[in-house]
Amino acid sequence: MGLAATTPRRGGPARRGPGDRDFSLPLEVTRELDTAVGRARGAKLADRLAAASRAYARDRYPEAFRITKTLVGQVPESASARELHGLVCYRMGRFREAIRHLDAARRLSADDPSQLPVIMDCHRALGHHRRLEELWQELRAASPDADVLAEGRLVVAA
């Protein structure tokens, strides 16, 4: 998954949407959408996902929420759409919904641990301390990148 920071983290050349000069989706994301719904429809959904990513990057969470909610309804098997919708929900304080979508994104992406700190923080905000500790142990066992582990430490320390 590569939308967490709303900029491409990996992948090759990216597809740009119409009028999209400051953001493009990683190639792996456009391929995910093309595989799920076909190339023509995938291109349209990629444009919508790019628009949602731009809104998220500009802290326009209600706009990003509207777009990602529709995308998740159209392509529930898209880890990227689920991840971004979960992050938007997190920013809006919709912690239960964020957990649901970020967990789904993890399942769809071979249990990628990159969003575990956000999921942990949602559980912390909801007072689920036992679950927070379980996820912290899971994160440590996954041996993620140093920045992901550091985020997890910050959540546990909060």
Q: Which residues of 28-59 are buried (b: 16+ CB within 10 A; e: fewer)?
A: bbbbbbbebbeeeebeebbbbbbbbbbbbeee
Q: Tell me the per-residue pLDDT of 26-38, one tens digit each, with 9 for 90 and over.
A: 899 999 999 889 9
Q: Tell me the per-residue pLDDT of 51-105, one tens digit each, with 9 for 90 and over.
A: 999 999 999 999 999 999 999 999 999 999 999 999 999 999 999 999 999 999 9
Write phi, then psi, for 65 (nearest 5 degrees). -60, -45
